[in-house]
């Protein structure tokens, strides 16, 4: 059997959203599962739609996620090759000049048919419904339909795994393979990802790029794990898996024929699972690199806070939200009733013999009981936020001195 060779062929027309990155992941996993090659091909022949910086963003996404490519090509470097193949079609009288552009002559009868690897379904198009299509534009650049096929052939691509929005282009591609007398690859069209409202996934649904998720404090392991389940399952209930496990388990028959639904809440839940699985040292370095305000913070303080926060964080950025009052004076405005409670806390803390979790807990309970208040009010008074890390532990770490000083300030 031939070595498996697959490609992701992004057009640098913007920063790809999570759906395109999932297609890349499926290609990568398929290649690695079959000990084949994963190729990155930048399809930059649509010069009008180029967006500066998007090629770098595409590569940054793959590098961050660990989706390593084995070979790399860029179509704008290969213009002469495409022109050569245009010439071949002209010589066979299968292509002709039209207003400075070159068109491919589609046959007017017969059908184009293939068995798609997703769901093993037969897809059929009538040639009479197809028009002669442009292969070389008047600016000298080939079209997507042409360059894509030439490259898939020359790069010996065995499986074309892409989104199902390309199904309608496939008859054109097949006709080009026939025109050159080349074998066509296996086509596998992935069902498009939908939002919870069953409309095509878009920004509206919280679908962003992998880089946006990184900035929001998602771990790459969680994002990879979430993406692989968008339209694939391992044939069991297993949901949590590492990249290595995905490589072992992934294959095309496991891809569902139904469209997956993108659920940002599930991604958040999964990120929380990965945060709780993380080793503290690893979590610490990720939390610090995520937030520049933490770069100069005392190491010993972070070592105390991170294990406490780990159980309550769903993103890396949650760390700062939960611990802000350790690094910044909380901004709190109290009403009269809250001020009374603050006074009671102040009195209790002042007379406490010990400053440890247990003693703090019992005086907090005391105040709650006597004042008939709820936890969010205590949090507000003591941290400036309605919830956060366990209060006794927080106050122990913050120190009695600081706690009392802050309460005093609130009361005056």
Residues that bind ligand GLU (CB under 6 A): 9-11, 43, 144, 148, 162, 166
Terminal Cα-to-Cα distance of the chain (whole angstroms): 81
Of 20 and 341, nearer to ligand GLU (C-beta) is 20
Strands 71-74 and 101-104: unpaired
- The DSSP symbol for 4 reads P
Of 157 and 194, nearer to ligand GLU (C-beta) is 157
Of 149 and 222, nearer to ligand GLU (C-beta) is 149
Tokens of 7: 């490609």
Of 10 and 206, nearer to ligand GLU (C-beta) is 10
- What is the closest distance, in whole angstroms, from the C-beta atom of residue 311 to ligand GLU in the complex? 41
- Helices 336-351 and 375-383: angle between axes, nearest 10 degrees: 70
- What is the closest distance, in whole angstroms, from the C-beta atom of residue 162 to ligand GLU in the complex? 4
- What is the closest distance, in whole angstroms, from the C-beta atom of residue 149 to ligand GLU in the complex? 9
User: What is the number of other CB atoms lying within 10 angstroms of the CB of residue 370?
Assistant: 11
Tokens of 288: 């610090």
Torsion of CA 165, 166, 169, 171, to 10 degrees: -110
Of 22 and 162, nearer to ligand GLU (C-beta) is 162
Of 162 and 214, nearer to ligand GLU (C-beta) is 162
Tokens of 352: 């406490």
Tokens of 170: 């496939």
- What is the closest distance, in whole angstroms, from the C-beta atom of residue 41 to ligand GLU in the complex? 8
Of 70 and 98, nearer to ligand GLU (C-beta) is 70
Alpha-carbon distance of 188 to 166, in angstroms, equals 10
Q: Which residue is nearest to ligand GLU (CB)?
A: 162
φ, ψ (nearest 5 deg) of residue 125? -125, 140
Of 44 and 318, nearer to ligand GLU (C-beta) is 44
Going from the C-alpha of 315 to that of each of 70, 269, 319, the distances in angstroms are 32, 9, 8
User: What is the number of other CB atoms lying within 10 angstroms of the CB of residue 82?
Assistant: 21
Tokens of 266: 């599930």
- What is the closest distance, in whole angstroms, from the C-beta atom of residue 11 to ligand GLU in the complex? 4
- What is the closest distance, in whole angstroms, from the C-beta atom of residue 225 to ligand GLU in the complex? 24
Alpha-helical runs (H) found in 69-140: 79-91
Of 228, 261, 263, 260, whose CA–CA distance to 246 is shortest?
Answer: 228
Of 133 and 144, nearer to ligand GLU (C-beta) is 144
Strands 186-190 and 121-126: unpaired
């Amino acid at each position: 059997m031939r070595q498996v060779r697959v490609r992701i062929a992004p057009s640098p027309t913007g920063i790809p959203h999570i759906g395109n990155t999932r297609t890349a992941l499926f290609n990568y996993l398929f290649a690695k599962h079959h000990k084949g090659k994963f190729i990155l091909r930048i399809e930059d022949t649509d010069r009008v739609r180029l967006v500066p910086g998007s090629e770098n963003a595409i590569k940054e996404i793959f590098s961050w996620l660990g989706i390593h490519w084995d070979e790399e090509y860029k179509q704008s470097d290969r213009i002469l090759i495409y022109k050569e193949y245009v010439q071949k079609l002209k010589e066979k009288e299968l292509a002709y000049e039209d207003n400075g552009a070159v068109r491919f002559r589609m046959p007017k009868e017969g059908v184009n048919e293939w068995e798609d690897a997703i769901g093993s379904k037969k897809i059929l198009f009538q040639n009479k419904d197809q028009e002669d299509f442009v292969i070389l534009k008047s600016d000298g650049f080939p079209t997507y339909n042409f360059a894509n096929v030439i490259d898939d052939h020359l790069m010996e691509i065995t499986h074309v795994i892409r989104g199902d929005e390309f199904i309608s282009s496939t008859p054109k591609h097949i006709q080009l393979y026939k025109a050159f007398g080349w074998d066509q690859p296996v086509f596998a069209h992935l069902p498009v990802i939908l939002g919870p409202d069953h409309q095509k996934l878009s920004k509206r649904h919280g679908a962003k790029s992998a880089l946006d998720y990184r900035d929001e404090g998602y771990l790459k392991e969680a994002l990879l794990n979430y993406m692989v389940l968008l339209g694939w399952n391992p044939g069991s209930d297993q949901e949590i898996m590492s990249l290595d496990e995905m490589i072992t388990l992934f294959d095309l028959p496991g891809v569902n024929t139904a469209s997956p639904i993108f659920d940002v809440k599930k991604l958040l839940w999964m990120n929380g699972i990965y945060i709780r699985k993380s080793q503290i040292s690893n979590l610490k370095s990720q939390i610090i690199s995520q937030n520049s305000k933490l770069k100069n913070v005392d190491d010993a303080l972070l070592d105390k806070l991170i294990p406490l926060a780990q159980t309550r964080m769903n993103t890396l950025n949650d760390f700062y939200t939960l611990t802000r009052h350790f690094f910044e004076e909380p901004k709190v405005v109290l009403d009269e009733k809250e001020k009374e409670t603050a006074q009671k806390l102040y009195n209790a803390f002042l007379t406490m013999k010990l400053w440890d979790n247990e003693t703090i807990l019992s005086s907090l309970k005391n105040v709650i009981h006597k004042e008939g208040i709820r936890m969010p009010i205590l949090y507000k008074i003591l941290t400036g936020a309605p919830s956060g890390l366990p209060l006794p532990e927080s106050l122990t770490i913050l120190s009695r001195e600081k706690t009392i000083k802050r309460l005093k300030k609130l009361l005056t």
